[in-house]
Chain A
Amino acid sequence: MTDLETLQAETEAAIAASTTPRELDAVRVGIMGKSGRLTAMLKELGRATPDERRERGAALNRVRDVITGALDLRRVGLETAALDSRLAAERIDVTLPPPPEQSGLIHPISRTMEEMAAIFGAMGFSVGEGPDVETTWHNFSALNIPAHHPARAEMDTFYLPGTRNGHPLVLRTHTSNVQIISMLQGEPPLRVIAPGRTYRADHDATHSPMFHQCEGIAIDRGLTLGHLKGCLIDFLRAFFGISNLPVRFRASYFPFTEPSMEVDIGWNRKTGELGGGGDWLEILGSGMVHPRVLANCGVDPREWQGFAFGMGVERVAMLKYGMSDLRPFYESDARWLRHYGFNPLAPVALHEGVAP
């Protein structure tokens, strides 16, 4: 066995025997360090003849390559083993519950009003607002409901002690005050919806003293009852996500519109399913804005005409989302809110769809 063969064999044995990166490094230094054995042999090469040098050099290089390769291989092996054992020690119980993080939710009334805003918004409506505490003029008189009108008595109005501009104050019984405010604020044409709080002195299983309404008004030069029908049919079908939802219009009466119509949608009375079923469910009141209402707001009915409508927000929400009872809407029972609430990060967006 030559000295080189001995060196190689002994080194390979030493590499195999090292169990830590430090031991392995000591082996490397002992062979290839400044005063390593292989380094020493290389230094001696200078004293050899050219022929010997060529032969011996090639042999030395071969041994060096072999040892270097063996060192690298062992180093990677040792590092991998060290990492593996560290990772094994770092194990966690992945079945532990994550930190408690209650998600919050949007109330169905807010969601429904936002859906209304999105759909009517696509038809050019903007959202108008008015005060909850309103004068009898805005709430009644301007809307062609004079003091003695039966409709004023039928509305179960809440009264407040004071007056504003000489008119008694009430809690608005509908959001129609926004129609008046909108007409007084700006010149037609206008398209406004008014979702908001309304109040009537009535409290039982199907009535709440406070509830929400969405009123709408559109005034322009050529708007007809046909547009009223189109607008409401388009809304109802988009809102409920039923493209062929049956919609029926029946003659009726409201003091602030003429002609006036109740609007029914088709449903199944037994199952509560919307669309088919052959039964009708009243859902909206509507009509062409009464000439007196226009004139009360300084709008000349010879030039301008349009339509108005109103619907109960809770009522359509119940139909759309399947709530059976009105009262829990206001009770803030966290369990109910969790059950019916909406993800705040998925707000109403027409391009994402508004139907359930």
Chain B
Amino acid sequence: MKFTLSWLKTHLDTDAPLDTITDALTRIGLELEGVEDAGAPLAPFRIAHVVEAVQHPNADRLRVCTVDTGDGAPVTVVCGAPNARTGMKAVFAPPGSYIPGLDTTLKIGEIRGIQSAGMLLSYREMALGEDHTGIVDLPEDAPIGIPYPAYAGLDDPVIDISITPNRGDALAVRGVARDLAAAGIGTLRPWARPAIEGKFPSPITWRIDSPACPWVLGRTVRGVRNGPSPEWLQRRLRAIGLRPISALVDITNFFTIDLGRPLHVFDANKVRGGVLAFRSGAGETFRALNGRDYTTTADDCVIADAAGVQSLAGVMGGEATGSQLDTTDVFIECALFDPVAVALTGRRHDIISDARSRFERGIDVSLLPAALDAATAMVIELCGGEASEVAEAGAEPAWQRHATLRFERLETLGGLAVPAAEAVAALEALGFTVQSRDANQVTVAVPPWRNDVASAGSLDQAPALLPELALSAAAGRAEAEPEADLVEEVLRLRGLDAVPAVSMPAMAPVPLATYTPRQVRAATARRTLASRGMLECVTFSFVARDRAALFGDAPAALRLVNPIAADLDQMRPTPLATITPAAARNVARGLPVGALFEVGPAFSAESQEVLAAGLRHGPAPRSWDGAAQAASAMGTKADVFAVLAALGVPMDSLSVTAEAPAHYHPGRSGTVRQGPKLALAYFGELHPRVLAGLDLPGPAAAFEVRLDAIPEPKRRRKALPDLPTFQPLRRDFAFVVDAATPAETLLRAAKGAERTLITGVSLFDVYEGEGVPAGQKSLAIEVVIQPRDATMTDAAIEAVCAKIVAAVTKASGAVLRG
């Protein structure tokens, strides 16, 4: 919402400096967006009289001017403009002033032997346009010594404020003035409704066939002469970015901004059939004032004459019946519309207009008759003509509402004990009128322009609420809301900075845990992976559909209806779908080796779950000791096990099977399970098709840990530690087994061969080749045997070893290697 300071002062009587006004606007919720003060840089320039202009003795193209600046003795100015002449009125810049068009500060100079104490300016030098054919040549009656911005009307700053959706009343200069006056900036000037006498019945009348228009007034003014509007009106509209069109149109724009009261003017001679009807659209196409065609729907309220649709009610008028320069009879529309209907029509047709933004926020219901009279008066004043009687349809809807404020609520809700008298005065300044008052509370009538206070509004309660709970909550809202509205008004004007800040009272002497166990898991996984050398990244939850499909399902249910770009249209099935392209981008940046992870959502048609997903990619970094390794399935298996261990998963309960989702290499990937069913994690090399599809050079291995699937660790006291007195023994075994046999089968069998005595089994060699039959492999394991009650005899040790061999052979068919 833009307006000029002088426009504001037609409603607000104040001498307050601009800064005071703009600070107050921001403080009371009419946030300042900006101030344009075009005159400020021109302030030193004054109107001057060129007493004499004579030829420069030493230069053909220069003139020496004697200039009366209205400030003491005349000064000498050397000027090169061809139009500099004796007797003219010009704009004078004194030495020391900044010339915006030249980006220079003026000094007293000597030009070809004659001292020049100032400058006569062109429009371009004042940065007011491109005109540089000569210096500014002002009319003879221009007053000498007056600052140029004041003379040219440029000393009127344009104030731009943003209006929140609740404050339709502040989309009017008068509304802003009222708020400022209530906040202690000046006083609101009275506004008088002019008296208009209707001389004849209006030849155009209204008919309402739509619930979207409860009330409408209109009046014909005949015998008008349309033309350009007067300079003051053009200047105001231009200052706020509106193009002056003609007196009749400019008048409607003036009232839209001045009173927040959108109007429309029909050319009465173009309206067919003498009746304008409000009705539903029926698919007709009409051309609006913005020159574009719109096709109406049954949900739109339109204004139609016998020839068809002439206006989208409350949003935009039509070209066919709009007033033109040759309009002689005009019909003024002053209507009330349902805000929701206007908002929906505006959105449906994507039209943003000054009328829509006011109607959808709600206008002053009671203002219709006065606004029509004021508009009629201005039409007659600017264009002549005589007014008809008022044509009316519908009726003023009941808008009267009351609200009660218990004064204590200013403190118990607002946190500030405002004295009752002050609170009441603030409300009265805003236009609320006291209905009753006692020591504890005041009941006020809500002014018709404040549609946001004590409004009907509606609830949309959760359907699962118990009926009595829903009822009492709804009753509570009906009581609490109007009071909260009033508390807000009082505090807003008083300034929220006045409310003393109070630190939160403690809920417990020492705060309880802030995270749920599930959130702790995510944090622990994040720290574990980062401590293993991986960089945490945060990638988008959506991805291109074809990329999502590389990582599993890309169901239509998770496809955005209105994606911002085609490559961000599908909710990702796993964070790997966005991490993998991120890794490819890093390779493209010249970083061939990397390790990224993300703890974030994976989406399926039914739900979303949190995964800790990561990707290691690139060859082994070259190193003098050769210790570094290339990205591999086993590397990411280690990541998975590190996360699971950090999360307290009992590692003995895990098993690994050789299958994984399709985005992994089918022969080099696995699933980590707890028990037979619960899949906790996947790991492995990425499928070559995935790498090719995302331009990621291999090797690349990934993992996904399903954090939400991990059962919460049981909170019980730890068992006592196992700290045997006797030294453990270590025995090595080498088995030859079918090459396809999982190593885990042997390890598990060895571990289980003697539960109390065997405390550790580790694989230290895997060998295929010479000495081992083709299709078989040799697995070498070390078993740790822990004597319990006494040092073990050789015979006892032999017995355990025999059990191990037997168990492994039974489980896997392996043969002890001779």
Contact = CB atoms under 8 A, between A and B. Distances in A.
Contacts of B167: 253
A297 B462 contact: yes
Contacts of A329: 538
Given A148-B340, A226-B415, A231-B503, A292 B459 contact: yes
A109 interface: yes
B540 A209 contact: yes
B712 to A, nearest CB: 16
B565 A292 contact: no
Contacts of B599: 110
B571 A159 contact: no
A301 B411 contact: no
Interface in B464-503: 464-466, 469-470, 472-477, 479-481, 484-485, 487-488, 491-492, 496-497, 499-503
Nearest to A282: B31
A294 B496 CA distance: 23
A229 B537 contact: no
Interface stretch (B435-443, B581-589, B777-785): B581-589
Contacts of B537: 107, 332, 337
A196 to B, nearest CB: 9
Contacts of B564: 158, 201-203, 209
Interface residues of A, number: 108
Contacts of A133: 558, 571, 603, 608
B511 A124 contact: yes
Contact of B413 (A144, A234, A305, A330): A305
Interface string B608-626: 1000000000000101110
B26 A345 contact: no
A38 interface: no
Contacts of B166: 253
A141 interface: yes
A332 B540 contact: no
Contacts of A122: 511
A83 interface: no
Contact of A300 (B340, B472, B501, B519): B472
B408 to A, nearest CB: 11
B165 A150 contact: yes
B743 interface: no
B604 to A, nearest CB: 10
Residue of B461, B472, B538, B562 with most partner-chain A CB within 10 A: B538
Interface stretch (A7-15, A25-33, A93-101): A93-101
A127 interface: yes
A295 B474 contact: yes
A98 to B, nearest CB: 9
A78 B608 CA distance: 74
Residue of A201, A210, A332 with most partner-chain B CB within 10 A: A332
A120 interface: yes
A344 B462 contact: no
A302 B514 contact: no
Interface stretch (A39-47, A57-65, A244-252, A318-326): A244-252
A73 interface: no
Contact of A118 (B347, B514, B526): B514
Given A127-B519, A250-B26, A253-B29, A160 B491 contact: no
Nearest to B536: A107
A296 B628 CA distance: 59
Interface stretch (B277-285, B300-308, B527-535, B730-738): B527-535
Contacts of A129: 516, 518-519
Interface in B674-696: none
Contacts of A121: 511, 513-514
Q: Per DSSP, are chain A's interface residues mostly helix, strand or loop, or mixed?
A: mixed
A229 B514 contact: no
B799 interface: no
Contact of A96 (B562, B585, B624): B624
A91 B519 CA distance: 50
B594 A334 contact: yes
Interface in A127-155: 127, 129, 131-133, 137, 141-142, 144, 146, 148-151, 153
Contacts of B484: 258-259, 288, 290-291
Interface of B: 26-29, 31, 164-167, 339-340, 343-344, 347, 360-361, 411-416, 457-466, 469-470, 472-477, 479-481, 484-485, 487-488, 491-492, 496-497, 499-508, 511-516, 518-519, 523, 526-542, 556-565, 568, 571, 579, 582-583, 585-586, 589, 591, 594-596, 599-601, 603, 607-608, 621, 623-625, 627-628
Given A150-B361, A300-B473, 15 more contacts: A99-B625, A110-B599, A117-B514, A141-B460, A146-B460, A158-B562, A199-B541, A201-B563, A229-B500, A234-B503, A252-B164, A288-B484, A291-B480, A334-B535, A335-B591
Q: List the 10 closest A-B pairs by CB distance, nearest first.
A: A226-B415, A121-B514, A251-B29, A253-B164, A332-B582, A344-B530, A295-B477, A259-B488, A301-B480, A104-B530
6 contacts: A110-B538, A133-B608, A148-B344, A226-B502, A288-B484, A291-B480
